[in-house]
Amino acid sequence: MQILLADAIFTPDTILRNHGIVFDKTILTIAPNSELRAQYGAQCQELGEGSVIMSGLINAHVHLEFSANRSTLTYGEFMPWLSSVIANRDELIHSCESECMERATQEMLDNGITAFGAVSSYGFDLDACANTPQKVVYFNELIGSDPLMADALYGNFQERLFASQTVKREGFYPSIAIHSPYSVHRILIQKALKYALENEIRVTAHLLESPAERQWLDTNSGDLQPFFQNFLKQTTAANTVEEFLAYFKEVPTLFTHVIHAKEDELVTLQQGNHTIIHCPISNRLLGNGVLDVQRLNSHNIRWVCGTDGLSSNYTLNLFEEMKIALFMHPDHNLPELSRKLWRSVTVDAADALRLNCGTIAPSYDADLLVTRVNYEINDQLPIHLLLQPPHIESVYIVGEKVKG
């Protein structure tokens, strides 16, 4: 059992001044420092002035296999970026071995990320994700729109999924990713979702990321048309948006991006109890537009933040991601948005990923950050923590100190 006494305990909804926390693997008690000193005496660890305890952060969406990218890929618009990914895919993948992906997981840990959702295209990141101290929701990705290749594509997907299911450690959750409505045939989607439903497996998918995707799915035309005609000899989209969403009716899913959804599609997303993953830096770098979080709020759709991968970001740092989002949505009330952003990387992300963390309350896993600020702590701390990120002194996962 450990007892930490802090200047403040921070959650998105409360700031508890001069409070401490008692925990082992889970959180046992939160109480005023004076009460904990009286009860535990010398067992208490005094963290001192400017110390802030907060929940470990949760990065809902990251691609580790492209972590070698620094300046190889083309930013500005989606189609030039996609073309550069295809042209440089083999080089990037082969230049990022386990050590490269382990550096990426360490970067996340150093930045306070104690859990993440890893979308794995090839399974090359399995060892890095299995060996990291963080909780990992490991999304094995299914892709392929050619019905003639359906059996082979599903077999490859199953092989990777089954390999991830051999990892036996606390905090590792084999899961399923459906790449997107334009890149996966309905036969494959239905088979994978049937398996997910029967085995209570977590599911994620990309959806409506770019204007090109929207046009292709709606009209079988636009910038994606020559791509599918030249590479895959396809003249029509694999699914409409309506068809795609209908497959997920009984499977609450984390849909990434969803920038270009129509009103009826948002209604469907709300009715299905789905979650949207917002990746603001990636959206800007690929020229895809800005997710209207006010629309999501009005439809009562939960949204969380993720960094995406280093193929479309320059960092795996949720403090930076939230700061960018703070400025990307100028019409949103600033204090309200800052609190919502903090929820999006803690309690809401944990709920969406079905993890027992993200909340500082009894019975939740003790995934905690001990941080320090060099400015006055007041009721605008949710904003200041984004503008002037704290120094992270220690990181605990399930009560075990893994950093500091």
* Tens digit of each residue's pLDDT (9 = 90 or more) over 78-107: 999 999 999 999 999 999 999 999 999 999
57-353, which class in CATH?
A: alpha beta
The predicted structure's pLDDT at residue 172: 98
Query: CA 278 to CA 291: how far, in whole Å?
Result: 7
What is the full DSSP assignment across 285-318?
HTT-----HHHHHHTT-EEEE----TTS-S---H
Query: CA 65 to CA 87: how far, in whole Å?
Result: 16
- Angle at which helix 78-94 crosses helix 224-232, to 10 degrees, equals 40
The predicted structure's pLDDT at residue 148: 86
Query: CA 32 to CA 45: how far, in whole Å?
Result: 14
The predicted structure's pLDDT at residue 232: 81
To the nearest whole number, what is the mean pLDDT of the chain?
Answer: 97
Judging by DSSP bridges, how do beta strands 275-278 and 254-257 pair with one another? Answer: parallel
The predicted structure's pLDDT at residue 230: 86
The predicted structure's pLDDT at residue 258: 98
Name the token pair of 301. 């759709």
The predicted structure's pLDDT at residue 12: 95
Segments of the chain with pLDDT less than 50: none
2-56+359-403, which class in CATH?
A: mainly beta
Per-residue pLDDT tens digits for 220-238: 999 999 989 987 889 999 9
Judging by DSSP bridges, how do beta strands 51-55 and 368-372 pair with one another? Answer: antiparallel
pTM beyond cutoff 0.85: yes
Q: Where in the chain is the domain with CATH 3.20.20.140?
A: 57-353
Q: Where in the chain is the domain with CATH 2.30.40.10?
A: 2-56+359-403
Query: CA 301 to CA 303: how far, in whole Å?
Result: 6
**What is the end-to-end Cα distance of the chain in Å, rounded?**
18
Per-residue pLDDT tens digits for 129-143: 999 999 999 999 999
The predicted structure's pLDDT at residue 233: 83
Query: CA 59 to CA 49: how far, in whole Å?
Result: 29
Q: Which residues are catalytic?
A: 209
